[in-house]
Chain A
Amino acid sequence: MRDALTLRGNHALLTRANPLAKFSGVVLITIALALSIDWVSASVALAFELLLFPLAGLTLALLWQRGWPLILAAAVGGWSTAILAPDHGRILLDVGIWSISDGSLQLGLGFLLRGLAIALPAVLLMSCTDPTDLADALAQQAKLPHRFVLGTLAAMRLVGLMAEEWQTIGMARRARGVGSHGNPWQRMKATLGQSFGLMVQAVRRASRLAVTMEARGFGGAQRTWARAASFSRLDAWVVLGGLLISGAAVVAALAAGTWNMVFLGQQ
């Protein structure tokens, strides 16, 4: 999990783009996809996104490593939709509360692809954006209060530590005789106890970190920035790219006749 928070070794093109520009690009695509549940717009967007992954510094292996949980989640969403959506067209399966029809199957497929197409850009975004650069952009350009942005950034650095500590606390408790086996109730109690232990450490460390930051003058109204966040031509291309992809997805769906506005229900 620590790896997710650093960009060590990633020198791809998109790491140099401004985080806010990248974010806007992703939001444009997300909005376009969110408006309709259909497999055409989702597939078009997905195709473009897959083309982009080398630019974000991801290899096929990394993409798979970070992407497979998304595929699983999207599949679950698609399945749930298929069995629970109102039925249209030929009924394929009807068992108790489950019912799958032609229409709901198509909807489910659209859901699956759309879910993927929305989730993937976020993975791309995070793979090529350093959290410190994101914080700089949010505080300097988006004008969010710097105390909150930097305080959160500092806290996030401790996440990896928390994950390691989770494992250590687990071992420490086993060494005291707290078994992690047994019935689900016992296991839940053990997990709750472990969570509490982690929370205590989290609050302790955060308090000490806050003292460190304050002792270095943090918390005042004014400050200067050692790393200036700025926009460049690359960022214009990034936003344009987002616009193009979202536009292409919408146009393709309208042309294929599968556009299915979320609020208007199924045709």
Chain B
Amino acid sequence: MTDISAKQTLTAGKYSWRVVDIVVAALIAVAGGVIFWAWDQGANLVTGPLTAAYPPLTGLYAGGWMIPAVLGMLVVRKPGAALFCEAVAATSELIMGSQYGTTVLISGILQGLGAELIFAAFLYKKFNLPVSLLAGAGAGLFCGLNDSFLPWGWNIAYEAGDKLAYIIFCAISGAVIAGGLSWLATRGLAKTGVLASFASRKAASEPVFS
């Protein structure tokens, strides 16, 4: 009898999503949206005047929107997690009444893709700090490109120099906020023991760089 259930587990494959992976990834995405919405309320007061002065600076806090992508992948560690989490975060943004309308779905998918490609490049085997930073930067890059070159982008009419500035700010913000913070958060979560059911349960003791 043990053999039957064990076989079922192994043949399911180490890359397939379990129900708990789906639900936790979705909730991380949605909780990320709540946190960023709360942060945004406060951030507006500080950054408002700054960004009215030089709008591309908004790229610097775009990273918050990409936290679900990287954090979701670092916790769940299954292929497609970055894409899925960011898409779910975008959907919940849509539900809450986003100023981007339905285009937020595409932005979300593209940003998730930016992070996903990095994790895929490492064959979903490495989840250390450099990879997290790169994934965050990847998401930021795609976010910047989306906003600057796709038809519904907010920055589509800027001059080339400003567009470049924005993309660079997005990538930096993505790396530091989405990549760095998510990596730290995963280690912290692992220490609390809530990740016991996941592949990331040992994240707190994993090496930082290798």
Question: In whole angstroms, what is the CA distance A79 to B53 when docked?
Answer: 10
Q: Within A169-198, which residues are at the interface with B (CB < 8 Å)?
A: 184, 187, 191-192, 195-196, 198
Question: In whole angstroms, what is the CA distance A125 to B46 when docked?
Answer: 33
Interface status of A128 (Cβ within 8 A of chain B): no
Q: Within B22-41, which residues are at the interface with A (CB < 8 Å)?
A: 22-24, 26-31, 33-35, 38-39
How many A-B pairs with Cβ below 8 Å? Answer: 188
Cβ A203 vs Cβ B189 within 8 A: yes
Cβ B97 vs Cβ A122 within 8 A: yes
Q: How far is the CB of A43 from chain B (nearest CB, A)?
A: 16
Question: In whole angstroms, what is the CA distance A80 to B27 when docked?
Answer: 34
Interface status of B17 (Cβ within 8 A of chain A): yes
Instruction: Report B-chain residues with C-beta under 8 Å of the C-beta of A195.
Output: 35, 39
Q: How far is the CB of A228 from chain B (nearest CB, A)?
A: 23
Instruction: Tell me the count of chain A residues lying within 8 A, CB to CB, of chain B.
Output: 74
Question: In whole angstroms, what is the CA distance A174 to B91 when docked?
Answer: 32
Question: In whole angstroms, what is the CA distance A109 to B17 when docked?
Answer: 47
Q: A84-B158, A107-B157 are in contact. Are A118 and B97 (CB under 8 A)?
A: no
* Interface size classification for chain B: 35 or more
From A12-20, A204-212, A231-239, A248-256, give the one contacting chain B.
A204-212
Instruction: Pick 14 A–B contacts, CB within 8 A, sort by A.
Output: A27-B102, A35-B151, A80-B158, A81-B154, A85-B159, A97-B54, A118-B152, A119-B99, A131-B95, A155-B88, A195-B39, A207-B194, A207-B197, A213-B23
Q: Closest 8 CB pairs between A and B?
A: A73-B99, A155-B26, A151-B22, A80-B55, A210-B20, A206-B27, A34-B151, A118-B101
Sample of 14 more A-B contacts, CB < 8 Å, known A151-B22, A207-B23: A30-B101, A37-B157, A69-B99, A70-B99, A81-B157, A85-B159, A111-B157, A126-B94, A155-B88, A166-B34, A166-B35, A203-B28, A206-B26, A207-B24
Seen from chain A, the residues whose Cβ lies within 8 Å of a Cβ on chain B are 1, 4-5, 23, 26-27, 30, 34-35, 37, 66, 69-70, 73-74, 76-77, 79-81, 83-86, 97, 104, 107, 111, 115, 118-123, 125-126, 131, 147-148, 151-152, 154-156, 158-159, 162-163, 166, 184, 187, 191-192, 195-196, 198-200, 202-207, 209-211, 213-214, 218-219, 262-263
